[in-house]
Amino acid sequence: MRDRSGQSLRAVLFGLVALLTLLGCQVIGSARFSPTSAVEAVTATPFVPPAGISAPTPAPTLTPAPPTPTSAAAPAGEELDLETLFALADWEDQLISAIYERVSPSVVHITTRIIYADFFFGVYPEEGAGSGFVFDKEGHIVTNYHVIENAQTIEVTFDEDLTVPAEVVGTDPPNDLAVLKVDLPADQLHPVELGSSQELRVGQRALAIGSPFGQFDRTLTTGVISALGRTLRTESGRVIRKVIQTDAAINPGNSGGPLLDGHGRLIGVNTAIVSPSGASAGVGFAIPVDTVRRVVPVLIEKGYYPHPWIGILGYSITPALARRLDLPVEQGILVARVYSNSPAARAGIRGATRQVVIGNQVVLAGGDILTAINGHPIRDWDSLDAYLEENTVVGDVVTVTFLRDGRERTVQVELAEEPRS
């Protein structure tokens, strides 16, 4: 009986060490809005900062050395001793602790105050809370736009003894990013090292640090990257692309805080959750770090991010719409209207020439059909918007392929800056 028990224990221990060894090798990479707002999941380069803007200084990477086994590695099929198993488990704990000790001084708690006016109650304040992180030694703090939206006053707390006022430097609502600035000496600022979205893989480790529910500063939660390339559409109509999904616990108040990989590098900015209860349900989302690299330096320089714009309105073509309008293609964009003096208007792209009633809806038909941009197929509005956002900047000249009267044509379009509301 004792032999059988010993054999069972050895089998369990051997399985445990195999699991721990795999986890030890995969120690790289991992929101409901703070003012809680629901979101829904829908279908879905090297960094060169603008002139005058310095890139954040990366902190040294600290990775605890793996433990020295108490005995030589066991041949395949033989058990490892208990002390080696404990050493491996301790190494995992030390790694996470080392990441937290290095990065947590970079994470801040953000408190906002918004003044509302009501006919019955008069003027009254309302406070909000979120998280953020230090971007550089100049005092720039990155957070979500929705954390500081409409705020009259903003305070940033670094620890129990250090709370300072902050001013808004720049905002980009479409990407839900904002940059604040605090006035502190450089030696009190500890920027987060930036990672890369290109290296992320599903199953990699993810660590989130923030202030859940606006109370528990610098709380650490761990998990994995559950999915990549998600697209989020918020209640306000904003679409955020290439979002990271993680099961690391994220709650209201975590918005704006960092999502880290297994080396303590930033891989995302926690922004949203999907949850029936309003608390973490294991489905959280983060804006990818490559978007941070692209947008934040421009926010610091200009105060806003100029989104490229072609200047049209139209319909995403579906097989059903193509049948009803007798269109020659089943995907693309049917141009309905062209903004006057827009890039599309200057390039000669045409809008609708007639109205067609389909069911109880009037459709503007007869316009050009956009099918490709720089050789990349345009399937629908989302694919065009994604290409412009991720691959172009204002002033770029793109080649647009379109159909007119059944004939394929191409035209050069110089992108302008999207009008800001």
Which range among 100-104, 236-240, 277-281 has the greatest average pLDDT?
100-104
Q: What local confidence, expressed as pLDDT, does residue 57 receive? A: 39
Q: Write down the pTM of the prediction.
A: 0.73
Residue 32: exposure state from Cβ atoms within 10 A (0-12, 13-18, ≥19): buried
Beta bridge partners of 363: 356
Give the mean pLDDT of 132-150: 95
Q: Kindly state the percentage of the chain with pLDDT values over 90.
A: 57
Give the mean pLDDT of 321-349: 95
307 tagged catalytic: no
Cα(210)–Cα(216) distance, rounded to whole angstroms? 8
Reported as a single tens digit per residue, the pLDDT across 356-409 is 998 889 999 999 999 999 999 999 999 999 999 989 999 999 999 999 998 999
Q: What local confidence, expressed as pLDDT, does residue 58 receive? A: 42
Cα(53)–Cα(293) distance, rounded to whole angstroms? 12
The secondary structure element, H or E, covering residue 385 is helix 381-391
The catalytic residue among 109, 140, 146, 307 is 146
The catalytic residue among 255, 275, 280, 342 is 255
255 tagged catalytic: yes
Cα 219 to chain centroid, rounded? 20
Torsion of CA 290, 296, 301, 302, to 10 degrees: 100
pLDDT band, very low/low/confident/very high, at 26 (cuts 50, 70, 90): very low
pLDDT band, very low/low/confident/very high, at 72 (cuts 50, 70, 90): very low
Contact 193, 260 (CB under 8 A): no
Q: What local confidence, expressed as pLDDT, does residue 279 receive? A: 67
Q: What local confidence, expressed as pLDDT, does residue 292 receive? A: 96
Q: Which of 19-33, 91-105, 174-188, 321-335 has the lowest mean pLDDT?
A: 19-33
If DSSP codes are grouped into helix, strand and coil, which group holds residue 300? Answer: helix
Reported as a single tens digit per residue, the pLDDT across 198-229 is 889 999 999 999 988 878 888 999 999 999 98
**Type of residue at 108:** V
What is the residue whose two structure tokens read 């033989």?
78
Name the residue among 34, 32, 294, 289 with its Cα closest to residue 150. Answer: 34
The string of DSSP letters for 47-110 reads --PPTT-PPPPPPPP--PPPPPPSSPPPPTTSPPPHHHHHHHHHHHHHHHHHHHHHHGGGEEEE
Q: Which strands make up the sheet holding 107-118, listed edge to edge? A: 162-165, 153-159, 107-118, 122-134, 140-143, 177-181, 167-172
Cα(3)–Cα(24) distance, rounded to whole angstroms? 31
Q: What local confidence, expressed as pLDDT, does residue 67 receive? A: 46
Cα(210)–Cα(270) distance, rounded to whole angstroms? 9
User: Per this entry, what is the length of the chain?
Assistant: 421
The catalytic residue among 176, 217, 261, 368 is 176
Q: Say yes or no to pLDDT of 22 above 60.
A: no
Q: What local confidence, expressed as pLDDT, does residue 316 receive? A: 95
Q: What local confidence, expressed as pLDDT, does residue 119 receive? A: 60
Q: What local confidence, expressed as pLDDT, does residue 25 receive? A: 38
Q: Domain residue spans in the chain? A: 197-288, 308-417
217 tagged catalytic: no
What is the residue whose two structure tokens read 């058990």?
79
CATH number of 197-288, picked from 1.10.357.10, 2.40.10.10, 1.20.58.100, 2.40.340.10: 2.40.10.10
Average pLDDT of the chain is 81
CA angle 333, 336, 339 (to 5 degrees): 110
Q: What local confidence, expressed as pLDDT, does residue 160 receive? A: 78
Q: Say yes or no to pLDDT of 161 above 50.
A: yes
Q: What local confidence, expressed as pLDDT, does residue 6 receive? A: 44
User: What DSSP state is assigned to residue 418?
Assistant: P
Tokens encoding 107: 């994470």
Phi then psi dihedrals of residue 115, to 5 deg: -100, 120
* CATH code for the structural domain at 308-417: 2.30.42.10
